[in-house]
Structure 1
Amino acid sequence: MLRFVSEKLVSAILTLFGASLLAFLVLRAVPTNPARLIAGPFATDEVIAQVEATLGLDKPLPRQYLDYILHFLKGDWGFSYSAGQPVLDQILARLPASVELALYAFAFAFAGAVLLAVLATFSGSRWPDRALRAAAFVFMGVPPFWVALIFLILFFEQLGWFPGPVGRGPVPPTEWTGFYTLDFLLAGDLAGFWEALRHLALPAVTLALGSLGYLIRLLRANLLDTAHEPFVTVLHAKGVGRLAIAFGHVLPNAFLPTLTAGGLILAQLLGGSVLVERIFTWPGVGGLVIDGILRQDYAVVQAFILLSAFIYIAVGVLVDILYGVVDPRVRRS
């Protein structure tokens, strides 16, 4: 098991190195000069040269890349001249909002997919299965921004059940974790927890629907394949109940592909959902990146690319390790 984990960690480090190199080269290939943007349109060539020297843009590309990696590892992720503060401070201020939203969306999509797929597959009737397949196709095909607008029109404008696009809602009395729902619980404020949950509901469900449809289709296909295995016939012959077979025997054997897909979906959600965050005025990392692109603040964009790559790699390594924990065949191989 130790060798298995070590190999995954080495692979992750190499992948992160490739992602950092790609991000560095792509942004350097953009024809815009960051020094001219910082100095302003009326700056002289001497002033632009001074800014380039300050930023290290006058050095050879290999030296620039080495400095970029060393500074990144030390926690210096660059300086955002459009916001007037370090990039790391900006990301750390907005990251809890994005992570909280992503975790709630993932929990809804993953738990909902498991429950609905198992119940529909083993219900003994074709109609629940057909309805679930139709819903999964709809969830996968509808753009999230369109769902967000429909939810706001229906549940905010018409029914008034949930808050509108006003962000995260009231701030907890003390921000221990940055997750509003958890901080309200730690403070013993159930009313505040419920209000934070209401603000999370629409954006989280909006993000989760597409992933929910994909996971339902994937898990349903694996459940059907596993349900025809000989051991399932033996369990039926022994008189084991339908739901006991479904949740206790078929689901664990059909779960590994869904675990992989779930890891990728979680990494995607943690990487930021720009349009949904913008529509609901959610103060997450997605809005920060959009502002960085519009203002041509390349330090923000570069840091976000590397952070997203790290999240994908970290979640991928975690899923690989969970594979070895869940399935003994992976450990032996």
Structure 2
Amino acid sequence: MFRDIRQRLLASAVTIVLASFVSFVVLRALPGDPARLIAGPLAGPETLAATRSSLGLDRPFFAQYGQFLWNFVRGDWGYSFSVGDEVREALTSRLTATLELALYAFVLAVVGALVCASVASFRPGFRRGLVRLFALVGLGSPPFWVGLVLIVVFSSYLGWWPGPSGRLSPQLYPPEPVTGFYTVDFALHGDLIGVSDSAAHLVLPVVSLALLPWAFLTRLLTANMADTAGQPYILVVRSKGVPAWRTHVRHVLANSLLPTVSSCGLILATLITGSVLVETVFNWPGVGAMLTEGISAQDFALVQSFILLSAILYVVGNLVGDAVNRMIDARLRTPGAAR
């Protein structure tokens, strides 16, 4: 058991380092000169040299990479010239907006997948075909395109929900921060108007972001539940007179959740780090919009730190999913069972 934990931790560390190294190489291979962008088009050679020196760009490549890793571990993530603030402060200040969007999308995707897969598996036939059709459409629809369609239909044409106007209407002020989630903070302060307005602004971006993971989880759960329903022990349970719905929930659904649990950690990490285009479409003031500006400005410190954080989130999500699976299924705690 301890040997398996050591191997997983070592593999996770290698994955994080490789991800950071690849991003470090790719960013420096992009055309353009960050020093020129900072100093301006009229800067002379001496000014450019001084700017490169202040950014550490005049040092050897591996020295720059090693210094970046060491500074990141120490909590010094550098200065973002595109934002005008320390990278760590800039990321944490906008992270709560991204987390609120991602967590609501995650809950919607998981609950929706559980309901749709259960309906499709318990009543096969037309319902199963309809669920599979919608899931297939969801898998083939990019989230940013879904967001644009939802804005056109439900905001511009029908006027049911706010469009790309951020987290709140212009006439409202943000609540006093407690959790950083506007819906929660407004509720804690008893402001029902703020709760309603912030929730309304969440609807379209949450649906846009949740559609793809909902489709993936629905297809995964439907296939697993169809396979589990045909197992001999399900027939034994039914032969004992257990009602069909109870058999479905307690045995078919419960035994089909393991692959889904493994995927949920990675899906949550993907929603947190992969909401860049959705945030841009809806003018959502999260990490994604700031990252888009950082890439355009070749802000190495900001982009490198975000990519490294993303790699850490993916690794942690995978480890948490495996740990939950081991808690649920005793077979995975047996030495050699995972192999």
Do they superpose with TM above 0.5?
Answer: yes
Aligned residues: 332
Q: Does 1:88 align with 2:84?
A: no
Residue equivalent to 1:49: 49
- Structure-to-structure mapping, 1:98-247, within 5 angstroms: 98-123=98-123, 125-169=124-168, 170-247=172-249
Cα 1:171–1:120 shift into 2, 3 Å: farther
By how many angstroms is 1:4 displaced? Answer: 4.5
Q: Distance in 2 between matches of 1:322 and 1:260?
A: 8
Q: Distance in 2 between matches of 1:42 and 1:158?
A: 48
Q: Does 1:260 align with 2:262?
A: yes
Deviations 1:212-261 (A, max 9, x none): 11111111011011111111001110111122111111112111111222
CA contact (8 A) 1:181 1:196 kept: yes
CA contact (8 A) 2:82 2:293 kept: no
By how many angstroms is 1:6 displaced? Answer: 4.4
Q: Distance in 1 between matches of 2:3 and 2:327?
A: 14
Decide which of 251, 254, 259 is 2:253's aligned counterpart: 251
Identity within the alignment, %? 46
Q: Distance in 1 between matches of 2:82 and 2:266?
A: 32
CA contact (8 A) 2:146 2:208 kept: yes
- Structure-to-structure mapping, 1:274-313, within 5 angstroms: 274-313=276-315
Deviations 1:171-228 (A, max 9, x none): 4431111111121222233332222111111100111112111111111011011111
Residue equivalent to 2:23: 23
By how many angstroms is 1:57 displaced? Answer: 1.9
CA contact (8 A) 2:178 2:185 kept: yes
Q: Distance in 2 between matches of 1:153 and 1:53?
A: 48
Q: Which deviates the most, 13-22 or 131-140?
A: 13-22
Cα 1:96–1:44 shift into 2, 3 Å: same
By how many angstroms is 1:165 displaced? Answer: 1.2
Q: Which deviates the most, 98-107 or 146-155?
A: 146-155
Q: Which runs of 4+ in 1 moved over 4 A?
A: 1-6
Cα 1:55–1:327 shift into 2, 3 Å: same
Question: Quick one: which amino acid aligns to residue 110 of structure 2?
Answer: F
Q: Distance in 2 between matches of 1:139 and 1:272?
A: 16
CA contact (8 A) 1:4 1:331 kept: no
Residue equivalent to 2:329: 327
CA contact (8 A) 1:272 1:284 kept: no
Indicate the SS of the match to 1:18. Answer: helix
Q: Which deviates the most, 154-163 or 95-104?
A: 154-163
CA contact (8 A) 1:271 1:308 kept: yes
Deviations 1:128-175 (A, max 9, x none): 111111111111122322321221222222332211211111444311
Decide which of 270, 273, 282 is 1:271's aligned counterpart: 273
TM-score by length of 1: 0.94
Q: Distance in 1 between matches of 2:293 and 2:156?
A: 28
Unpaired runs of 5+ in structure 1? none
Q: Distance in 2 between matches of 1:145 and 1:24?
A: 27
Cα 1:305–1:34 shift into 2, 3 Å: same
By how many angstroms is 1:3 displaced? Answer: 5.3
Indicate the SS of the match to 1:165. Answer: coil
Q: Distance in 2 between matches of 1:249 and 1:258?
A: 15
Residue equivalent to 1:37: 37
TM-score by length of 2: 0.92
Indicate the SS of the match to 2:65. Answer: helix
CA contact (8 A) 2:175 2:182 kept: no
Question: Quick one: which amino acid aligns to residue 239 of structure 2?
Answer: A
CA contact (8 A) 1:116 1:216 kept: yes
Q: Distance in 2 between matches of 1:173 and 1:221?
A: 44
CA contact (8 A) 2:37 2:297 kept: no
